[in-house]
Amino acid sequence: MNRYTAPLTDLRFALYDVLGADAQFARLPGCEAATRDVIDAVLDEAAKFAEQVLAPLNQSGDQEGCTFDAAQHTVRTPKGFKEAFRQYVDGGWIGLTAKEEFGGQGLPETLGAALKEMIDAANLSWGNYPMLSHGASSALEHHGEDWQREVFLKPLVSGQWTGTMCLTEPHCGTDLGLLKTRAEPLPDGSYAVSGTKIFITAGEHDFVDNILHLVLARLPDAPAGVKGISLFLVPKFKVGKDGSVGERNAAVCGSIEHKMGIHASVTCVMNFDAAQGWMVGEPNKGLAAMFTMMNTARLAVGLQGLGLTERASQNALAYARERLQMRALSGAKCPEKPADPLLVHADVRRMLLTQKAFAEGGRLLGLYAYLHEDVARHATAADERERAQALVSFLTPIVKGMLTEAGIECTYHAQQIFGGHGFIVENGMEQYARDARITTLYEGTTQIQANDLLGRKVMQLKGAGLKHFLSEIGAFCAQHASHAELAEFIGPLSAAAREWGTLTQEIGQRATADIEEMGAAAYDYLFYSGYVALAYFWARAVAAAQASAHSADFKQAKRLTARFYYARILPRTQAHLAAIRSGAATLLDMSDAQFG
């Protein structure tokens, strides 16, 4: 047990039947190459890579972990990891979505997301190495100078080098305004970067010769706080403007962390001691540049939650079919066997259906966000690009927060379905639960996603993305208002969408009177929003399945999962609503001393 089969049927259903991604690509300039034939070929080959190369390394990688050589400051990744990376590069996967001018294949990000879900399901730890490179590439593409794109971006896209993201310091994680790393200008236009960064994923490893660290640091005259942060590219081996690779830079791994999960994804303390670096973007505007990378990474971490949900649910379902325990309450379902399979028991089905609802609904939410990223980049009309961008930016904290929290819930359900065997290492379920835990912590904790959603995306930006999303839900409900077979979903969905709008206004009014109300509401508002968004995608899934050429069983399974979602998961919104309406006082009235 510890299997993984890429969910190709559901991925195709999501891309073609629900989202119409192929039709979108056909009309978006620059995406035309992504025809159905190409998409199908990419999905099939990606599935093989995930199932046959990465999945078999997941458990062994967890058990072996990464090894640090303190004398050489080097890291050895688990057996097979380096070779898998080589295969990934040779197969052209690493540059799948990068622009052709930088050596990529220029395919849509939506397709990259489908690939990423499979990678994360197969081997979350391994997936972190290319994920960081992808983030570094997008920061360089958007904020780098021409020579930097030539010298640094191309080797990232080709997989010759990899990238990192160096934000966190011992005293600052969430609050980057506190960071102390310094950058002094040098006569040749480069900078001497000094400081310590902690928790740096893929900071040192044995996949490639050179590693490009994107480091947040302060110039000598920088203002305090987030307005005084700049972004620097600091290579492991120095690189000149002409691309020549020089001596070892003073950017070294001091130690690696021992962690609860993702053992095969190395987490480094990085020491920069007047290391040579190059500024990326403008002075004191580093955080904006880093946000390009962080937003890419936040959506990507959402997919990690989704991948784990999918893999855990596949194993739990297989186990529930095989394991015989007790009889169904209404009498034996398999009288020829000594007991019935776990699958007959209502509460086991609750857990399996929860996983199915989050996996398939979450897939739609994630791919929808990525599809709008493609629209935001490629649409010809400015207003269409603007609308798509507003939607992506609004949905990013929901994708990240909701899909990772669902990943935790669903990997726990998988363990529970395995009973005591879920606690035993060799069965693999406890690894999923351990690996899932990090996804709600890095790339901004769930609380930070919640603050971003309510504070920035809804309040500060006047809810532009929310308005677009609600009007889309409204249009969908209107379109299907007379469709009897959808009535059980359309009524509750339009009521939930109306309530979402009213609730947002209520919070806005309360926060105007007392800003603490916003912080007190944010967490519940994130979940409330996530559950309503998933309700929208479940209604769309039923409508799309109905109109598709899929089998009657497939259509019925979509309907029954949607019915389960609306009956047993969507009502969670009401608990969040009540918590929000209870106001900030229940959280703030107790004095610090009274906490005990």
Given the rule CB under 6 A, which residues bind ligand FAD? 165-168, 173-174, 199-201, 259, 267, 438, 441-445, 447-448, 451
Min. distance of Cβ 174 from ligand FAD in angstroms? 3
How big is the CA angle at 37 (ends 31 and 38), to the nearest 5 degrees?
Answer: 50
What CA–CA distances, in Å, run from 2 to 109, 121, 418, 433? 29, 11, 12, 13
Min. distance of Cβ 589 from ligand FAD in angstroms? 18
Residue 267 or 415 having the CB closest to ligand FAD: 267
d(CA 468, CA 60) in angstroms, rounded, equals 46
Contact call for residues 441 and 448 (beta carbons, < 8 A): no
Residue 5 or 196 having the CB closest to ligand FAD: 196
- Identified catalytic residue from 443, 499, 516, 517: 443
d(CA 53, CA 66) in angstroms, rounded, equals 19
Helices (H), 341-456: 346-378, 382-417, 429-437, 446-451
Min. distance of Cβ 167 from ligand FAD in angstroms? 3
- Give the nearest residue (CB) to ligand FAD: 173
Residue 107 or 212 having the CB closest to ligand FAD: 212
d(CA 561, CA 570) in angstroms, rounded, equals 12
> Which residue type, as a one-letter code, is found at position 267?
T
d(CA 64, CA 123) in angstroms, rounded, equals 14
DSSP state of 282: S
Residue 47 or 450 having the CB closest to ligand FAD: 450
Residues in the chain: 596
Min. distance of Cβ 281 from ligand FAD in angstroms? 17
Residues 6 or more apart whose Cβ sits within 8 Å of residue 13 = 541, 544, 545, 548, 550, 554
3-state secondary structure of 245: strand
d(CA 413, CA 426) in angstroms, rounded, equals 18
Pairing status of strand 211-217 against strand 162-166: parallel
Min. distance of Cβ 398 from ligand FAD in angstroms? 17
Contact call for residues 537 and 366 (beta carbons, < 8 A): no
Residues 6 or more apart whose Cβ sits within 8 Å of residue 308 = 120, 121, 124, 407, 410, 411, 432, 435, 436, 439
Contact call for residues 489 and 537 (beta carbons, < 8 A): no
Min. distance of Cβ 369 from ligand FAD in angstroms? 21
Min. distance of Cβ 338 from ligand FAD in angstroms? 45
Residue 427 or 439 having the CB closest to ligand FAD: 439
User: What's phi and psi for 221, nearest 5 deg?
Assistant: -100, 20
Q: Which residue is it, tokens 């949900």?
A: 309
Residue 200 or 497 having the CB closest to ligand FAD: 200
Contacts of 470-476 spanning 24+ positions with Cβ under 8 A: 470/497, 470/500, 470/501, 472/536, 473/497, 473/536, 476/536, 476/539, 476/540, 476/543
Min. distance of Cβ 138 from ligand FAD in angstroms? 15
Min. distance of Cβ 441 from ligand FAD in angstroms? 6
Residue 108 or 173 having the CB closest to ligand FAD: 173
Q: Which residue is it, tokens 């559901």?
A: 10
d(CA 288, CA 587) in angstroms, rounded, equals 32
Min. distance of Cβ 547 from ligand FAD in angstroms? 42
Residue 274 or 441 having the CB closest to ligand FAD: 441
Contact call for residues 357 and 369 (beta carbons, < 8 A): no
Residue 70 or 587 having the CB closest to ligand FAD: 587
Of 536, 526, 466, 527, nearest in space to 502 by CA = 466
Annotation says 443 is catalytic: yes
What CA–CA distances, in Å, run from 303 to 114, 120, 355, 366, 403? 9, 7, 15, 7, 7
Residue 324 or 441 having the CB closest to ligand FAD: 441
Q: Which residues are catalytic?
A: 443
